[in-house]
Homo-oligomer: A and B are copies of this chain.
Amino acid sequence: MSADTVRRSIVLRRRPSGAPDRSDFDIIEDPVPTPGPGQVVTRTIWLSIDPYMRGRLREQQTYAKAIEIGEVMTGETVGEVIASADPGFVVGDVAVGARGWQTHVLSKAAQLTKVDRHDADRSGKSGGAPPISTYLGVLGMPGATAYTGVIDILKPKAGETVVVSAASGAVGSVAGQLAKRKGARVVGIAGGADKCLYVQDTLMFDDCVDHRSIDLRAELAASCPNGIDCYFENVGGAVQEAVFDLLSPFARVAMCGMVSQYNQDPFPPGPNLGFVVGKRVLIQGFIVSDKPERIAEWRQLAAPWVAEGSLEYREDEIDGLENAPDALGGILGGRNFGKLLIRVGLDPH
């Protein structure tokens, strides 16, 4: 059978304990579906792997339905339309918004957004349409998450100190660059020397602290001599504790995620919150999908920055749908370096 008659899908076999890996999932095959009225079938080119996915594997979910045993795992994709029963899409279109760890996804046309094919090399810096993979990262949900957290919650002022954890990642890298554009002093926290170098020398943060340091708190204090006015929280745990200790009066904390604990059950205790009163701290949790209009808005704002090369991003590609489960396990341990993408199928262009 050719690639376009058989569909491969990854379904949940059992709820993982600790880091998920391939033993927690099954790969199933069935025929590529035929779209009904208003439906479209895409052939997946890129699948996005994001930390939130670990939450969907828990029995108890706070904000979205858990994945059931036997159900196809969720994930955003960019794909090529191979069959359409909707006037808005024709075969050969590239679309973002189809969801699933699958080689082929059947979607309602309404949930898809057509994007331009990339007409330049994948660096994106030659102008024109951005690389299609960027719709899963810098121009997609992760980029818009950074945008929402920085602009709507942190509201950094010129000269303030902004700390971003998971600073080399898909969200953190954009959050820090946005805060820099607002004139803030930006300090990243990342895992390892390579990532810290990238954060300082390519993303141009003012400083970066390795969270594996022997004394994280002391290093962070040295990097933030005026305290911390804004914190973009992606990781939780010991990093959260070190940052919270150094918050300045009237600090804002954008709670985006706490990746360090997603594999833990139960979650460990957190920091005592007494400081929140005395320092009048704002802690605000948020999920970008509550404001879907912000994603389109961000895409429009940031696409020219990506085209001109003034917004840096980095992608970490893994080949093959079958590697998605281990990739999810890896992202929670910080094994990726940049936006984690699974190449599921070739982009013919």
Does residue A249 face the partner (Cβ distance < 8 Å to B)? yes
Q: Which residues of B contact A266 (CB under 8 A)?
A: 272
Q: CB distance A274 to B249 under 8 Å?
A: no
Q: CB distance A280 to B285 under 8 Å?
A: yes
Does residue A307 face the partner (Cβ distance < 8 Å to B)? no
Q: CB distance A285 to B277 under 8 Å?
A: yes
Pick the contact of A279: B63, B257, B276 (CB < 8 A).
Answer: B63
A271 to B268, CA, bound (A): 8
Q: How far is the CB of A154 from chain B (nearest CB, A)?
A: 14
Does residue A5 face the partner (Cβ distance < 8 Å to B)? no
Closest B residue by C-beta to A240: B273
A61 to B274, CA, bound (A): 12
A234 to B286, CA, bound (A): 25
Q: Which residues of B contact A270 (CB under 8 A)?
A: 269-273
Pick the contact of A277: B257, B268, B281 (CB < 8 A).
Answer: B257
Q: CB distance A62 to B261 under 8 Å?
A: no
Q: Which residues of B contact A61 (CB under 8 A)?
A: 278
**Contacts A270-B272, A282-B283: A277 and B249 contacting too (C-beta < 8 A)?**
no
A274 to B257, CA, bound (A): 7
The binding surface of chain A is classed by DSSP as loop
Q: Which residues of B contact A281 (CB under 8 A)?
A: 283-285
Does residue A258 face the partner (Cβ distance < 8 Å to B)? yes
Does residue A55 face the partner (Cβ distance < 8 Å to B)? yes
Closest B residue by C-beta to A282: B284
Does residue A287 face the partner (Cβ distance < 8 Å to B)? yes
Does residue A256 face the partner (Cβ distance < 8 Å to B)? yes
Q: CB distance B63 to A278 under 8 Å?
A: yes
Can you list 11 A-B pairs with a CB-CB distance of less than 8 A? A236-B273, A255-B276, A255-B277, A256-B277, A257-B277, A267-B274, A269-B269, A269-B270, A273-B283, A275-B285, A283-B284
Q: CB distance B255 to A62 under 8 Å?
A: no
Pick the contact of A278: B249, B284, B285 (CB < 8 A).
Answer: B285
Does residue A121 face the partner (Cβ distance < 8 Å to B)? no
A5 to B55, CA, bound (A): 71
Q: How far is the CB of A149 from chain B (nearest CB, A)?
A: 11
A188 to B305, CA, bound (A): 52
Within 8 A of B (CB), among A137-193: none
Does residue A290 face the partner (Cβ distance < 8 Å to B)? yes
Q: How far is the CB of A247 from chain B (nearest CB, A)?
A: 10
Q: How far is the CB of A165 from chain B (nearest CB, A)?
A: 13
